[in-house]
């Protein structure tokens, strides 16, 4: 038995893959990635693929970056792990200070965990407990957006709005108020932007007027709802929500797990509209895509409500075993240092423009209903009939077929339903973006029009 057969056999026998219908898994022999170089993934046979979704939205500087490797190696010589429960260590301290310095004003306190879901979970618990300890214990519910995705743990699922993922858990979830999704093409309110004057954001005002005293926080993916299919909010939407929440004293939680660290073309999406949230969740790109680390940032106002005498029990009773792992913090510090040195975010503009032009061409294809983009995040939505906007039958798995057709062309991407997602590493070159766009266009033509590459 060769190595590929052996690994495939063991994969099929023992691995349960995330977000994967395992009954279909054996039908497509798994693509096994053995190595990476820069922005490329390399399989067992040595075939190279551009990492078109940044290994699930995390890779910033390319894989195996020497500066991050060196920081990890150095940290392994001094301290592998030590808890933050009752102790501290230099890397957690340094990273916390850096995060406080680069995030929007007011976010000065950093609480670590390991995934975006836990970072969100922590923000929800902090917001809830804040009001319990601030004399307004009636504020117990959250406002969220239709189509939201905040992670897979139960609190994060409660504030989520993707029925396909979330509906089955209904009985386990806490109730929330939902705002209409800011999705202009399929406007839930039947209006047209900009004549609508952001009616979907204005919907927050009557909700808070009626229920404001019961609501502890609004949670939003700022500017882009990623998992919903890269739904980009119209300009001004975010700021309108933030101002309305503030006017009613409701806390604002920015889930920047996907949008943080330059992905939208700004260091943080909140910066695009100058908003200052009370709580912010970070994850994905925090370590440059190398190690699992997440952070929840809180304002001084939120933090103050947790202070008191020991016996008042205002403590935030929460903490994960590996919280603030020193090696992960070292990777994050090195990644932030690289971003600064390379002026990465400022340098993104030409790649963002290149992607915009490529998407504009793809948007003309007969089975593409819409392309959406913010920075280096893009979605290409397929349609069975461009005139009516009719979706394909889900069983056809057109999005999946397109991403599979990209593989022989040397590109790995993932679909969200029939939206093809492009999320190349921030450090992608002009040639790499061109390779990605060419392959995706060919794959869409091949799958939707039967044109051979």
> Residue numbers of the site for ligand PLP (CB under 6 A)?
115-117, 120, 149-151, 221, 226-227, 255, 257-258, 283-284
Residue number with CB closer to ligand PLP (382 or 423)? 423
Kindly tell me which of 68 and 257 has the beta carbon lying closer to ligand PLP. 257
Minimum CB distance to ligand PLP, residue 156 (Å): 6
- Measured from each CB, the residue nearest to ligand PLP is 116
CB of 148 to ligand PLP, least distance (A): 8
* Residue 180: Cβ-neighbour burial (10 angstroms; 0-12, 13-18, 19+): middle
Tell me how far, at minimum, the Cβ of 126 lies from ligand PLP, in Å.
16
Sheet holding 279-282, edge to edge: 107-113, 294-299, 279-282, 251-255, 215-220, 141-145, 177-179
Question: At closest approach, how far in Å is the CB of 258 from ligand PLP?
Answer: 3
Q: Please report how close the Cβ of residue 272 comes to ligand PLP at its closest, in angstroms.
A: 15
What gap in Å lies between CA 324 and CA 407, rounded to an integer?
Answer: 37
**Closer residue to ligand PLP, CB minimum distance, 117 or 233:** 117
Q: What's the min distance (Å) between Cβ of 27 and ligand PLP? A: 26
Q: Which is nearer to ligand PLP, 284 or 351 (CB)?
A: 284
286 versus 362: smaller Cβ distance to ligand PLP: 286
Using left for φ > 0, alpha for ψ between -120 and 50, and beta otherwise, residue 196 falls in alpha
Report how far residue 175's alpha carbon sits from residue 94's, in angstroms, rounded to the nearest whole number.
Answer: 38
Of 450, 379, 364, 445, nearest to 418 (Cα)?
Answer: 379
Q: Alpha-carbon distance 267 to 259, whole Å?
A: 9
Distance (Å, whole) CA 82 – CA 89: 8
Beta bridge partners of 49: 41
User: How many CA within 13 A on the CB side of residue 280?
Assistant: 30
As a whole number of angstroms, the distance between CA 250 and CA 244 comes to: 9
- Our CB check for ligand PLP shows the closer of 374 and 383 to be 374
Which residue's CB is nearer to ligand PLP, number 212 or number 226? 226
The nearer residue to ligand PLP, 257 or 445, going by C-beta atoms, is 257
Question: Within 10 Å of residue 301's Cβ, how many Cβ atoms?
Answer: 12
Smallest gap from residue 333 Cβ to ligand PLP (A):
20
Minimum Å gap between C-beta 325 and ligand PLP is: 15
Closest CB to ligand PLP among residues 158, 446: 158
Q: 282 or 355, CB closer to ligand PLP?
A: 282
**Closest to ligand PLP by CB, 155 or 283:** 283
Q: Between 250 and 253, name the residue whose CB sits nearer to ligand PLP.
A: 253
> Who contacts 8 (Cβ-Cβ below 8 Å, separation ≥6)?
29, 30, 32
Rounded CA separation 57/55 (Å): 6
Please, what is the minimum distance in Å from the beta carbon of residue 236 to ligand PLP? 21
> Is 132 buried (19+), middle (13-18) or exposed (0-12) by CB count in 10 A?
middle
């Amino acid at each position: 038995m060769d190595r590929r057969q052996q690994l495939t056999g063991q994969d099929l026998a023992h691995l349960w893959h995330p977000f994967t219908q395992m009954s279909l898994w054996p039908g497509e022999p798994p693509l096994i990635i053995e190595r990476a170089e820069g922005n490329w993934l390399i399989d067992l046979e040595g075939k190279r693929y551009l990492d078109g979704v940044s290994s699930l939205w995390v890779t910033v500087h390319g894989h195996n970056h020497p500066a991050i490797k060196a920081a990890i190696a150095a940290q392994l010589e001094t301290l592998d792990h030590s808890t933050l429960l009752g102790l501290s260590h230099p890397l957690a301290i340094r990273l916390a200070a850096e995060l406080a310095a680069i995030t929007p004003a007011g976010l000065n306190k950093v609480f670590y965990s390991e995934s975006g879901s836990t970072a969100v979970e922590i923000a929800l618990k902090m917001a809830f407990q804040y009001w319990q300890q601030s004399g307004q214990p009636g504020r117990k519910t959250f406002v969220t957006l239709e189509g939201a995705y905040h992670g897979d743990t139960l609190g994060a699922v409660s504030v989520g709005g993707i029925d396909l993922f979330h509906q089955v858990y209904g009985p386990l979830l806490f109730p929330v108020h939902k705002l209409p999704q800011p999705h202009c093409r399929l406007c839930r309110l039947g209006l047209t932007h900009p004549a609508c004057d952001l009616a979907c954001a204005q919907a927050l005002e009557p909700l808070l007027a009626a229920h404001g005293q019961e609501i502890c926080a609004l949670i939003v993916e700022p500017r882009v709802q990623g998992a919903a299919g890269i739904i980009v909010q119209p300009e001004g939407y975010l700021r309108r929500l933030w101002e309305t929440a503030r006017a009613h004293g409701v806390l604002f939680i920015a889930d920047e797990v996907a949008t943080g660290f330059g992905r939208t073309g700004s260091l943080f999406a909140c910066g695009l509209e100058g908003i200052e949230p009370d709580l912010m969740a970070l994850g994905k790109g925090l370590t440059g895509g190398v190690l699992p680390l997440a952070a929840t940032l809180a304002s001084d106002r939120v933090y103050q409500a947790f202070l008191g005498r020991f016996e008042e029990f205002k403590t935030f009773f929460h903490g994960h075993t590996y919280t603030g792992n020193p090696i992960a913090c070292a990777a994050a510090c090195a990644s932030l240092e690289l971003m600064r040195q390379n002026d990465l975010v400022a340098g993104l503009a030409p790649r963002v423009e290149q992607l915009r032009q490529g998407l504009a061409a793809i948007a003309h294809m007969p089975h593409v209903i819409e392309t959406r983009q913010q920075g280096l995040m893009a979605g290409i939505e397929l349609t069975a009939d461009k005139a009516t906007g009719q979706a394909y039958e889900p069983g056809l798995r057109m999005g999946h077929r397109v991403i599979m057709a990209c593989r022989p062309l040397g590109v790995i991407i993932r679909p969200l339903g029939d939206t093809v997602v492009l999320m190349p590493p921030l450090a992608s070159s002009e040639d790499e973006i061109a390779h990605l766009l060419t392959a995706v266009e060919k794959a869409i033509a091949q799958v939707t029009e039967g044109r051979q590459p």
